[in-house]
Amino acid sequence: MKAITLQKLGVVVLAVLVPMVLLFGCGGGGGSSAGGGGSNTLFYAVKATTPTFAATTSAKPQNAKGKIYSAPSFSDPAMMVAFQLLRNYSYPADEGKIDMSNIYKILWEAGGKLDDAKYLCSSMTSTTDSAISPYLFSDFLGHSYTCGGNIDESVQPGYGSSFAYEETGTLRKMLASYKWAPDVAQQIAIGTIQASYDDTTKNVELIFAQAVNYPAGSTMGGPSGSGFATRARITGNSDTHDFELKMFTGSTSLVGKGKSQGAGNYFLIRDGSNYFCIPAGATETDLAGMQPMNQTDANASPNCGVYATAVTAMTSYTGADLPNIDLSDFNNGVRGTPVNYLMF
């Protein structure tokens, strides 16, 4: 069931790509490492911090109805979710293969505001994140911002984005939101990203929430309507590759900690009471055949035991942390149709 839920997400990306590129200033081709001169520092920083799982058997789209890839059989559904969320994404090679449930795809489309906002926003009175965020995160980063801006829906009806920004020395912070609703009778997507990156220390942190709503009577929603939501939190360092993460989509909530890159390194992912010790550089094939271990075995693991206590203590996201698919949780802004979202 989890795999089926994720496959359905593929419909979103086929229609969302073009307008999102226009709104967010897609990451472009410059740079191949965090802070390396590219136009999407956040994208590269997170990729250097968290695991990226290379596809090995996933195929190109097989039809025009949004089948993103033909996945192998996974021994455990949690590893299917982990692969979908953290599958390696590169532009333009992966266009049409990876949808907006993927963390790296999301950052490619929306993360560029960390670089662009200072050139687009206007000065404002210092304001805390919880006062202006369209989504009331349960785990705000506790930032304040002195600059804000937006791309209003008057530019292109149904599309909007907005952002807040603050820069102190080499620490850059942003809060960005977006709306995609070219046909409100068929589909509405709202998302919010809060992030920071320090160009000196290479520390990165990120929280994210997105909901996609298919209204009642729409092609995807059917008589009653439907949708999906995603939440994520990532902290770590793009130089050392140490990270912690929390992710939730569908009915699967994952937490993890470890080192994402380097020969001989490992990280530990937990899904409820199931633990997965994963080598840095693991691929889709590795995840597909992976079997869970229990807490006792995780503690005794020669490769992941060092992370077991911390991962056990991590609090997973629950359904209460996911935004409602009716979009009612994105209501802290001052403008927007049919729901409010961040505007200055």
Q: What is the pLDDT of residues 95-142, one digit of tens each?
A: 878 877 789 988 987 788 899 888 888 888 898 988 888 888 999 999
40/101 Cα distance (integer angstroms): 19
Taking every pair of Cα atoms in the chain, the longest distance, rounded to a whole number of angstroms, is: 59
Question: What pLDDT shows up at residue 3?
Answer: 35
172/163 Cα distance (integer angstroms): 13
Q: What is the mean predicted confidence (pLDDT) over 192-196?
A: 95
Q: Report yes or no: 5 and 99 within 8 Å, Cβ to Cβ.
A: no
Higher pLDDT, 70 or 180: 180
4/261 Cα distance (integer angstroms): 30
Cis preceding-peptide flag for 338 (omega within 30 of 0): yes
Helix (H) or strand (E) holding 119: helix 113-120
Question: What pLDDT shows up at residue 343?
Answer: 44
Q: Report yes or no: 24 and 112 within 8 Å, Cβ to Cβ.
A: yes
Q: Which of 125-139, 203-217, 223-237, 311-325 has the lowest mean pLDDT?
A: 125-139
Calculate the average pLDDT of the chain.
82
The predicted model scores a pTM of 0.83
- Reduced to 3 states (helix: H, G, I; strand: E, B; else coil), residue 137 is coil
| Token pair for 68 | 């993103």
Question: What pLDDT shows up at residue 44?
Answer: 96
The per-residue pLDDT for range 290-325, each reduced to its tens digit, is: 999 999 999 999 999 999 999 999 999 999 999 998
Question: What pLDDT shows up at residue 264?
Answer: 97
Per-residue pLDDT band at 195 (split at 50, 70, 90): very high
| Token pair for 336 | 């927007």
